[in-house]
Chains A and B, each alone.
Chain A
Amino acid sequence: MAEVNMEELLNCALCPNICRCECPVLQVLGREAVAPSGKARLAAMLQQKQLNWDEQVLEAVSNCLGCRGCTIYCPFAELSLCDELLNTRLDAKDGGIKLSVVDPCLVNLSKHGSPYGQKKGSSAAGDSGAEILYFAGCTSQANHPESIEAARALFREAGVPFQMIEEDCCGYPAEVWGDEELARQLAAENRRKIAESGASTLVTNCPECWLTFTDRYPAWGEELPQEVVDGPTYFLGLIKAGKLKPRQSSLGKVSYHDPCIWARTAEKTAEPREILERIPGLSLEEPLSCGKFTRCCGGGSMFQLSFPEASAAIADRRLAEFPEGAAIITACPFCREGLLQDGEGRRVLELIELLAKTCCR
């Protein structure tokens, strides 16, 4: 189990919350207990046995989107508060404490390999033995089959053989909910299937899956034998190679929402924009915060399932930053869901769907 870095955690606990302005959870809830340094203080007290685990404490230290908004202004280069909080939460299980709201999701994960319940669309597909393995992730599998359809259409249009395996959830939700054992089981199962696929490259359009494959799997001793490539970079490559040729889009004004992980961890802010620039007929207008200064959609760390009300409020706050009349394009299944929460009929599309619409017949 990853250890909490006590020195960094205390640096944060002793900080006057310099980054609080960039913490979406704090900004919508206004609760000191969920301020970045507020959470660090609770975590430090837990570590130092000054505080016992109970559901209220767990709820507070779980109130983190993993969005890394706090890193924008954080003076401690070595500190990753969301990871320290995640590592802290892993202890709660030993104390017999869990978040009751996510209990059914954890049961689903261990029974069905998906937090959403019985898997619908996840079956092996494509050309077995193909070099490219497309990993859709549980959220697209459960809630956005159209995004997977778009990816398949793009591979076919580009003439690139691809395969899909019968996916289990990558393990990310189990970890953020404090069940590392389950996360590792899912990782082991996925790794086995992915390795057996014989593919040389894994492409995923889900930032959470990407992060888990590239960062957590190695930490759990489940490093994937393949190169793991993010969707925007991969599909931009197909456009540049002339294999995909976007045609005129009638969408007009669009605005790109940078998913936090793509923007701040993978540092992929240029690639999606370049795809948009290569689609004729679009005019790109940025939201008020963008690029590495992006603000979370409310979907990080499975918030839609763990804290639906806060998640919706964070989405509303983010939606207010987009130019009026622009369709919102994003490159993450969670962001798509997050930004659709307002129900006000804003057009929200995944980049991959827009690309498929303009490239595929």
Chain B
Amino acid sequence: MTEPIRTILQESRPDQAVIDRYARAAAGLIGAENVSANHVDLLSTCRDYWPVNSIWMLEGAVPALPQLVVWPQSTEEVSQLLALANEQRIPVVPYGEGSGALGGVIPLRGGVMIDLKRMNKLRSLDQKNLLVTVEAGVNGELYEEHLNRAGYTGGHFPQSLRCSTVGGWLACRAAGQFSTRYGKIEDIAVSTEAVLADGTIFRGRRVPRSSTGPRVDRLMIGSEGIFGVITAATLRVWPLPEKRHLASYTFENLDDGLEAIRLVMRSGARPAVVRLYDAVETGNHFPELSDQRCALILLIEGARTIVDAEQEVIAEHVLANGAEESGSKYVEHWLETRFNISAASRLLQKGAVLDTIEVTTNWHNALSTYLAMQEALKGVEGTIMASGHWSHVYPEGAALYMTVVGFPAEDKITYYKKLWQGAMDASLAEGAAISHHHGIGLHRGLWMAEEHGKGLEVLRRIKGALDPHGIMNPGKLGLEEVAKWQK
């Protein structure tokens, strides 16, 4: 016999009798085939893609286990399930496709996993108003495929496109690789439909803008399951672009590259993809280019005449800032390889600790934040690589995405925490936002107080009002201390 599986972060669990009662009632509401206490289902929904979970997986442990998995198929069913859990004070965690990067789905206090994947219908495509209404559990790639077949694009391509849900994107304020033109998910979303902890269903309006007080449905965007469950959303779509132009350049240093992008954004041009890599990443992704230079890749798309004009404006700015042209083939290479994350599995098996840490900088602190974070990451003994690139660009700044790999001699978790402490301290000291798009989940909650100051108290009060019994995804977003996961 094998030992019972080790749970590292489990804080508590409701009595099994309470869960059994809930399971029977849930089966009555949504059908026994949509409720499971099968240990295989519990084991399979207990983690996401937070690298610490992978380390534990290799050690044969899990972060924590839920006690029940339910698969509602309609908003009404979600409402009934939540109302019942609220009555019984049972913790509930929404689960999309588990690609979250910060431990957001870990059921720290057991309870019920509400898996949204059986809510995967595209309710309507409104071509006149360029809007699509879609249920939360639809897979990203299948969502885009559906739109493409009708001649549209959703404009949202996170690297996890093929393994994340629309609901997960909204819950985490995700960003796609083409966000400079189409926006982050909060720009693409027009409204959400959601269910609060007590079962209340509420929907936003699908009008472009309004002046009718705060649009409360937008509270759900970025809420990572702490207020309730996003069940559907209305999102913008765009006609498939008529033209796509690919261009790449190299710069002698990051300063010149950053200045070039800043001026491009200032000009009003909106390339879909803007990625400026430091020399290390340039060498990793495009070995031919290496030679200590920094690569910039650009993808411009849309109506032909607009793309032509943008192309001209962009070329003017980057060339004026010391860029050398390197053609389209590096962008083609990026397009082909942009979803390949095989290196992570291989490195993890070799015993590496790795992560990606994305923050948001303005232009004035873009370079200094990069340098400070890199220094902090390299300063932890065991680090073999700490590199970065900027993507997701705005007139006022850009996202900085750092990648770190190490083979620590010490305990992996201790090393991991040191990496993050250094990176977060550097980011906060430089005035960057501690996350651009991966969100907070469990782990980044450790720095939420420093990020928000009094703002965190406001968030706590909202949480208290919307979820007075604290059943929704407890222990996340840094709203409360998690004894087993401290700095």
Contact = CB atoms under 8 A, between A and B. Distances in A.
Interface of A: 7, 10-21, 27, 30-33, 35, 38, 41-42, 45, 48-52, 56-57, 59-60, 73, 75-76, 288
Interface string B28-40: 0000000010111
26 contacts: A10-B349, A11-B342, A11-B345, A11-B346, A12-B345, A14-B349, A15-B341, A15-B342, A15-B345, A16-B163, A17-B99, A20-B163, A21-B139, A21-B140, A21-B163, A30-B71, A30-B115, A30-B118, A31-B115, A32-B98, A41-B57, A42-B40, A42-B43, A45-B43, A48-B60, A73-B162
Interface string B341-357: 11011101100000000
B77 interface: no
Contacts of B163: 16-18, 20-21
B349 A33 contact: no
Contact of B141 (A11, A21, A50, A59): A21
A51 B2 contact: yes
Contacts of B120: 30
Which of A7, A15, A21, A288 has its CB near the most chain B CB atoms (within 10 A)? A21
Contacts of A10: 58, 345, 349
Contact of A18 (B2, B98, B341): B341
A75 B118 CA distance: 27
Contacts of A21: 139-142, 162-163
B454 interface: no
Contacts of B140: 21
Contacts of A49: 2
A59 B44 CA distance: 14
B340 interface: yes
Contacts, number: 106
A31 B97 contact: no
B363 interface: no
A75 to B, nearest CB: 4
Interface in B44-60: 44-45, 49, 54, 57-58, 60
A69 to B, nearest CB: 12
A14 B54 contact: yes
A37 to B, nearest CB: 9
A45 B60 contact: yes
B158 to A, nearest CB: 11
Nearest to B49: A16
A31 B162 contact: no
B436 interface: no
Contacts of B60: 45, 48, 50
Given A21-B139, A73-B162, 8 more contacts: A11-B349, A14-B349, A16-B49, A21-B163, A30-B115, A30-B117, A31-B117, A42-B44
A288 B149 contact: yes
The 5 closest A-B pairs by CB, nearest first: A30-B117, A75-B342, A32-B44, A21-B141, A14-B345
B217 interface: no
Nearest to B115: A30
A10 B117 CA distance: 25
B403 to A, nearest CB: 16
A149 B167 CA distance: 52
B137 A7 contact: no
Interface in B296-349: 339-342, 344-346, 348-349
Which of A14, A35, A48 has its CB near the most chain B CB atoms (within 10 A)? A14
B483 interface: no
B135 to A, nearest CB: 12
Contacts of A50: 2, 5, 60
B41 interface: yes
Nearest to A38: B44
B97 to A, nearest CB: 7
Which of B2, B45, B115 has its CB near the most chain A CB atoms (within 10 A)? B2
